[in-house]
């Protein structure tokens, strides 16, 4: 064994190789360092199948024979260490790896903190410890906040296409720290969720096929810009969730595939490794070093960038060995089933580790499977997430809303079935980017009927979504009725706000967001059945629904009436549990929101006329294709009384 030219903790090497080095980014990659009186860069790389490793860059003409960095293998650890005297921040570099197969490959640094702007693929020596954070108050308070009994209204955003002046003229992180954060605050959202910003070669992949897991994409500027964006969010009271892709990676030559001439990050069995649906490769979740890499990456975003949580992408594809695979690629686990046991164990370990280091974090599973206990604790056999996207609710609701109102009575169960399982997991109700691309049409354009009716249906849909149990997520553009489906290569159609109906949708969304925030009944008991009660659930013939939401106290409730039909009712009697005055908090049919503006009382007094199994009732008009939210007297006190 040759002596390493620069020291690396033997404990770190051991922990990495046993899947327990959870802050590996502090050891691996390129770090500014001093060695034997010289300043330079220390390089640490895992490449157990390599015969030789060289660091190449501008500093040696990209010529591996001109060795500026003497990379040496540390014993039998599979880890190479070297020091480049005189190298500095901003230097471009790659690893030249002579593999066991005799081929030389140029690879980007798996732990590189910064990367070149595509189509270039070199890593860049960078420091991430210079930004002066101003979010201390947010970070201190975050530890005491429990997300379950708090409002959560997430604005899902693709940074590149939120606003764009011309093709590929993206707003940089600094501009977004002003414009995007101002907009999100004005609209009343509580969180921003950002589509993946790890470095990726193809714009059209939206970041879901990554090469640089520790490098924020250079499309929007340097790493400090992202720190500024997150800081700006926190100073304004906005949480930040990052889409995180740990299920697969792209096959580009400079990335992780066949990293040292052999499969290291991916499984050796191509049937398990290959994901033909996406043209990517799965991670080898059972390999300890891969576990150290991925879990360290999760903690990296939470630590270095102060990210508040991760939305873990494509969980269903991770936990099913045969997800969307042809018959000839199907495999079984050691028990004869199709569950990916290694992936399940990895997800449990991931969540246990994240919550040990950052117990206040949000860990959300984007999971379309029926696997049980996704949000149950690991000690109870669950996967340990604290939230799961409710894909079933989303699919059923979109099918229902796309149905012409004349035929909705025949599929009434689509809007009521979700309450059979609404409290089996901690759910987020997602209206995400996936539903408005690839020919699926925008949310507005999914709605049936002539143009004005599409808007009425959309307002009704948003109202039901907002009042249904579960936290909320809306993809950008939905808030003002983007008519075309999402175009990732162009900015949102902000010019639509010049048209009254679209501007009215924005006003309606802003008001709906405010009603949500002001009413603890809509979020305090999201995950407990006592916070929800049907009033009239089986009225399929009229396509009507009504229900009660509560914050746990009888005097803090609201009642919701939804009319999914084209028929209006001048007088509709609604059963309520408590006597008193009910105040109209929201009417989607208001003229300011683009509705008909039919007369609607601002208050309704109960009478002792039993209805819907209740001792009291109120009598109200119900316009066609509308939703009304009525507050009991005490419920209007709002968030400040919590």
- Are 592 and 570 part of one and the same domain? yes
- Are 624 and 481 part of one and the same domain? no
- Are 110 and 237 part of one and the same domain? no
Classify residue 449: in a domain, yes or no. yes
Q: What is the pLDDT of residue 555?
A: 56
Q: What b-and-e string marks burial along 601-636, b requiring 16 or more CB atoms within 10 Å of the CB?
A: eeebebeeeebbebebbbbbbbbbbbbbbbbbeebe
- 8 Å CB contact between 513 and 523: no
- CATH number of the domain where residue 376 is located: 3.20.20.80
Please tell me which residue in 12, 109, 243, 313 is annotated as part of the active site. 313
Q: Which of 522, 547, 579 is at the close of a domain?
A: 522
Strands 212-216, 198-199: pairing is antiparallel
Classify residue 5: in a domain, yes or no. no
- Are 293 and 225 part of one and the same domain? yes
- Are 513 and 535 part of one and the same domain? no
Is 619 one of the catalytic residues? no
Q: Which of 474, 490, 522 is at the close of a domain?
A: 522
pLDDT digits (tens, 9 = 90+) for 367-407: 999 999 999 999 999 999 999 999 999 999 999 999 999 99
- Are 450 and 560 part of one and the same domain? no
- Are 201 and 330 part of one and the same domain? yes
- CATH number of the domain where residue 44 is located: 2.60.40.10
CA angle (99 as vertex; 97, 103 as ends), nearest 5: 90
- CATH number of the domain where residue 602 is located: 2.60.40.1180
Number of domains in the chain: 3
Residue 626 is given by DSSP the state: E
Q: What is the mean pLDDT of residues 284-298?
A: 98
pLDDT digits (tens, 9 = 90+) for 486-542: 999 999 999 999 999 999 999 999 999 999 999 999 999 999 999 999 999 999 999
pTM: 0.95
- Are 89 and 169 part of one and the same domain? no
Q: Measuring CA to CA, which residue among 536, 550, 573 is closest to residue 635? A: 550
Taking the alpha carbons of 607, 609, 614, 620 in that order, is the dihedral positive or negative? negative
Q: How confident is the model at residue 145 (pLDDT cuts 50, 70, 90)?
A: confident
Q: Does pLDDT of 153 surpass 50?
A: yes
Is 536 one of the catalytic residues? no
- Are 533 and 484 part of one and the same domain? no
- 8 Å CB contact between 194 and 159: yes
Please tell me which residue in 156, 224, 231, 366 is annotated as part of the active site. 366
pLDDT digits (tens, 9 = 90+) for 319-355: 999 999 999 999 999 999 999 999 999 999 999 999 9
Q: Which of 522, 554, 584 is at the close of a domain?
A: 522
Q: What is the pLDDT of residue 635?
A: 44
Classify residue 141: in a domain, yes or no. no
Phi and psi torsions of 160, nearest 5°: -70, -30
The range of the structural domain enclosing residue 585 comes to 529-641
């Amino acid at each position: 064994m040759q002596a390493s030219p620069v020291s690396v903790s033997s404990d770190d090497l051991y922990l990495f190789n046993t899947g327990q080095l959870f802050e590996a980014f502090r050891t691996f990659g390129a770090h500014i360092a001093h060695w034997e009186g010289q300043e330079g860069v220390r390089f640490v790389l895992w490449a157990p199948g390599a015969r030789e490793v060289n660091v190449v860059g501008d500093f040696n003409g990209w010529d591996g024979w001109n060795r500026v960095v003497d990379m040496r293998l540390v014993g039998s650890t599979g880890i190479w260490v070297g020091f480049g005297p005189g190298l500095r921040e901003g230097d471009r570099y790659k690893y030249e790896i002579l593999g066991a197969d005799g081929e030389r490959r140029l690879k980007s640094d798996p732990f590189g903190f910064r990367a070149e702007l595509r189509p270039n693929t070199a890593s860049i020596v960078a420091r991430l410890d210079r930004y002066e954070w101003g979010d201390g108050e947010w970070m201190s308070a975050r530890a005491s906040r429990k997300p379950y009994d708090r409002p959560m209204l997430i604005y899902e955003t693709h940074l590149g296409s939120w606003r764009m002046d011309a093709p590929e003229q993206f707003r940089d992180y600094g501009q977004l720290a002003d414009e995007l954060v101002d907009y999100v605050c004005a609209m009343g959202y509580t969180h921003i969720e950002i589509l993946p910003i790890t470095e990726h070669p193809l714009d059209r992949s939206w970041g879901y096929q990554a090469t640089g897991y520790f490098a924020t994409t250079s499309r929007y500027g340097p790493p400090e810009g992202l720190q500024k964006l997150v800081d700006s969010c926190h100073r304004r009271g906005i949480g930040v969730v990052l889409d995180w892709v740990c299920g697969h990676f792209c096959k580009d030559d400079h990335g992780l595939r066949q990293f040292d001439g052999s499969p290291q990050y991916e499984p050796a069995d191509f049937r398990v490794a290959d994901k033909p649906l996406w043209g990517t490769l799965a991670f080898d979740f059972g390999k300890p070093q891969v576990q150290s890499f991925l879990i360290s990456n999760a903690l990296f975003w939470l630590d270095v960038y102060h990210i508040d949580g991760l939305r873990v992408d494509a969980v269903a594809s991770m936990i099913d060995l045969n997800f969307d695979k042809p018959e000839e690629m199907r495999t079984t686990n050691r028990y004869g089933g199709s569950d990916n046991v290694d992936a399940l164990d990895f997800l449990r370990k991931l969540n246990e580790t994240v919550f040990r280091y950052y117990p206040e974090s949000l860990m959300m599973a984007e999971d379309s499977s029926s696997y049980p206990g996704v949000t149950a604790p690991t000690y109870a056999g669950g996967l340990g997430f604290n939230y799961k996207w409710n894909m079933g609710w989303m699919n059923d609701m979109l099918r229902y809303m796309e149905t012409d109102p004349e035929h909705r009575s025949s599929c009434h169960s689509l809007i009521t079935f979700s309450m059979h399982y609404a409290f089996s997991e901690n759910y987020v109700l997602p209206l995400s980017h996936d539903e408005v691309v690839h020919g699926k049409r925008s949310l507005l354009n999914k709605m049936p009927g002539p143009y004005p009716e599409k808007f009425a249906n959309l307002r009704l849909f948003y109202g039901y979504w907002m009042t249904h149990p579960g936290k909320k997520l809306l993809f950008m553009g939905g808030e003002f009725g983007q008519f075309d489906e999402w175009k990732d290569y162009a900015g949102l159609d902000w010019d639509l706000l010049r048209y009254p109906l679209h501007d009215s949708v924005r006003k309606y969304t802003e008001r709906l967001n405010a009603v949500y925030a002001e009413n603890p009944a809509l979020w305090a008991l999201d995950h407990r059945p006592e916070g929800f009660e049907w009033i009239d659930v089986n009225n399929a013939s009229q396509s009507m629904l009504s229900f009660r939401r509560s914050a746990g106290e009888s005097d803090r409730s609201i009642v919701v009436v939804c009319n999914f039909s084209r028929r209006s009712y001048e007088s509709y009697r609604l059963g309520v549990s408590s006597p008193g005055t009910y105040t109209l908090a929201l009417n989607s049919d208001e003229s300011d929101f683009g509705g008909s503006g039919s007369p609607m009382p601002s208050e309704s007094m109960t009478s002792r006329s039993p209805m819907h199994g209740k001792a009291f009732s109120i009598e109200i008009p119900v316009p066609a294709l509308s939703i009304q939210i009525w507050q009991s007297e005490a419920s209007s006190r709002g968030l400040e009384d919590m």
